[in-house]
Structure 1
């Protein structure tokens, strides 16, 4: 889980992370802690859409107001990490007419929603498998286009909304729709620890945090800073990492042998392998990197086989063995 979150932070094009597993295993805690590891970003000051001052959205009402010069004063802010509650209304998610302003002076003013706030950041959905279908449809449209189009109440607003989708849930409570499942670049399983030493360490750390939160955070600030610096350095190396032709062939052969639908599997696998190579400061992607990310990149993209194991993980492992160990 930690590796998948780090890789998504290095290269958001991977497509996000889905974390499924037992209740009480720290899924939400780990995902929300990701925000502290991300470097800050530059945005246009006071822009509700987090526009990049070097490349603001062409139709942003704040950065490019009609009949006025662009206002591009920049500021540095933490990477947006927005929670999408299960009970959120459609207006809260996509945005709607500002009723207070409309009633006060009759002006039609758009009030941006969560999709605007999540632009250039992370959108987190806890219990994602319980998300209502109409919100799933909205997310699919925006994830595919990178834009949020609002046509309602006499308003016609379009604004950029590119975010890393992160979800968590317990598979016992229901399955995800295949269309939404396919939008996650990486999918991992988290199980309750069965090693006594690990469970004791969890108790020890939780007790330390409850006793003195400030001291606990100070103790772990050093390792967090080191990890943040590694993420920043890995991002800088992305453009330079080399992907040999045999690696591309291995990626295609692996997905072909598993019968994955579409080509998102190849893209997610390749991007995750490149991000891992950068994180490990390796100049070239090789078999080691592919093996390390193949299961989270492909396990959720295969059709279910009722005659095979319930989990797709053994099928990916067998395909890797046939590809590299034959």
Structure 2
């Protein structure tokens, strides 16, 4: 298995790395974040996901608990209700965070749980007991499902289990066997899924839209576009230190230290109403993902830029590309407006406003440099001829053309681009002489 940190990141797969790291950070903070990556076969989806298991931070559980009970909050049938003193006597252990897979051949009993036949046929002490399946054993960890579109098409009973598990946070699983009492367990596990949408039976959102909506993020995996990137990928197996090396654990901070401003919460509410978003899960995922992105980037306050960056991931499987672009541009415009209306002097302790002030000053500097280049007389400063073009033609600045009411209004040939988004060479333009 290749080391996660040695895998080649490029423009086509960068979003997958982001989704993985956001989901791990969320899981460590006890909130599952589910993502689904779609892309052509052979682009490395499964390779990257399976390599990520080695960067998962470990968990502390009650010793030998197959349900991964937290020592401070046991939940399984065996340990639920025990006193702190009893848990201390049982002991605790640090184990790798669960990373389990559900295959297409899986049965409902292996995924949810079933009767433990080994304990029933034990001649010395026969007892009826449950054998936990993949879902309850993955508590506090990750479940990976490859080609989930095929699973959704062929195993509707397994999809129903996933819907129940992913419907709330934390989720739940219910184990039912004849002759035994029904057991319901909370499950905090993140679902990572992959699929090839161009192969039968097609994209997940067309097969089971309800399941597709359960995923917080949808990642579009693309092939590398530069030959140099392909060359680096081909060189990987020749590196002696890349196989058999365990990657370092992903460093994750406490999400409670990140502030989500109330005015940005208002923006999310406006997006839900104004763009007629169907699922409330979408804006909940937007809030969670923006918070995790700020956490990942080492900031303590969520910004509108964080929201804009995760918009394509959150809405990729929920909205059409045009609407996603409109939402992203809407958030970016608000971010620029907020930055221009505030100044660092007014907010000396606000790093976000300080960064916005830098952007403003940088844009003004580009504008001045562009103006100097267009009108310079050779010494780098704007040239002055003493008369404007209109004055040189004998027209007065007080003439009819200076009065708005007398000016003919003509619509522009295409939608205007905000000045701050223009390339430097287009900031200033000069009409050619007739």
**What range is the shorter-chain TM-score in?**
0.7 to 0.9
Equivalent residue for 2:315? 298
Pick one of 269, 284, 289 that aligns with 1:267: 284
Residues 77/313 of structure 1: CA separation in 2 closer, same or farther (3 Å cut) = farther
CA RMSD of aligned residues (A): 2.2
Distance in 2 (alpha carbons) for counterparts of 1:322 and 1:62: 50
Q: Deviations over 1:192-231 (max 9, x none)?
A: 21211111111111343xxx3xx2258x86xx53x723xx
Tell me by how many angstroms 1:24 deviates.
0.9
Residues 258/195 of structure 1: CA separation in 2 closer, same or farther (3 Å cut) = farther
Equivalent residue for 1:319? 327
Pick one of 122, 137, 145 that aligns with 2:160: 137
Pick one of 179, 184, 194 that aligns with 2:210: 179
Q: Is the 8 A contact 2:24 2:56 kept in 1?
A: yes
Distance in 2 (alpha carbons) for counterparts of 1:313 and 1:79: 36
Tell me by how many angstroms 1:64 deviates.
5.3
Asked whether 1:282 is paired with 2:308, we answer: no
Equivalent residue for 1:188? 219
Contiguous gaps of at least 5 residues in structure 1: 303-311
More strand by share: 1
Q: Is the 8 A contact 2:294 2:302 kept in 1?
A: yes
Distance in 1 (alpha carbons) for counterparts of 2:121 and 2:263: 64
Asked whether 1:228 is paired with 2:261, we answer: no
Equivalent residue for 1:123? 143
Q: Deviations over 1:171-191 (max 9, x none)?
A: 123232111111111110001
Please identify runs of 4+ aligned residues in structure 1 that moved more than 6 A.
none
Asked which structure has the greater RCO (Cα within 8 Å, sep 6+), the reply is 1
Pick one of 61, 64, 67 that aligns with 1:43: 61
Pick one of 108, 114, 120 that aligns with 1:96: 114
Q: Is the 8 A contact 1:101 1:109 kept in 2?
A: yes
SS in 1 for 2:257: coil
Equivalent residue for 2:172? 147
Equivalent residue for 1:240? 257
Q: Deviations over 1:30-75 (max 9, x none)?
A: 1112221121110111111000011111x5225658xxx5564100
Q: TM-score, normalised by structure 2?
A: 0.65
Q: Is the 8 A contact 2:308 2:332 kept in 1?
A: no
Tell me by how many angstroms 1:14 deviates.
5.7
| Count of aligned positions | 300
Asked whether 1:9 is paired with 2:24, we answer: yes
Equivalent residue for 1:216? 242
Asked whether 1:198 is paired with 2:229, we answer: yes
Contiguous gaps of at least 5 residues in structure 2: 1-15, 334-417, 419-434
Distance in 2 (alpha carbons) for counterparts of 1:18 and 1:47: 30
Q: Deviations over 1:222-280 (max 9, x none)?
A: xx53x723xx2xx32x1121222221122222233432212111111111111111111
Q: Deviations over 1:139-186 (max 9, x none)?
A: 111223522211222122233322001100101232321111111111
Equivalent residue for 1:308? none
Distance in 2 (alpha carbons) for counterparts of 1:271 and 1:194: 31
Task: Name the larger-Rg structure.
Answer: 2
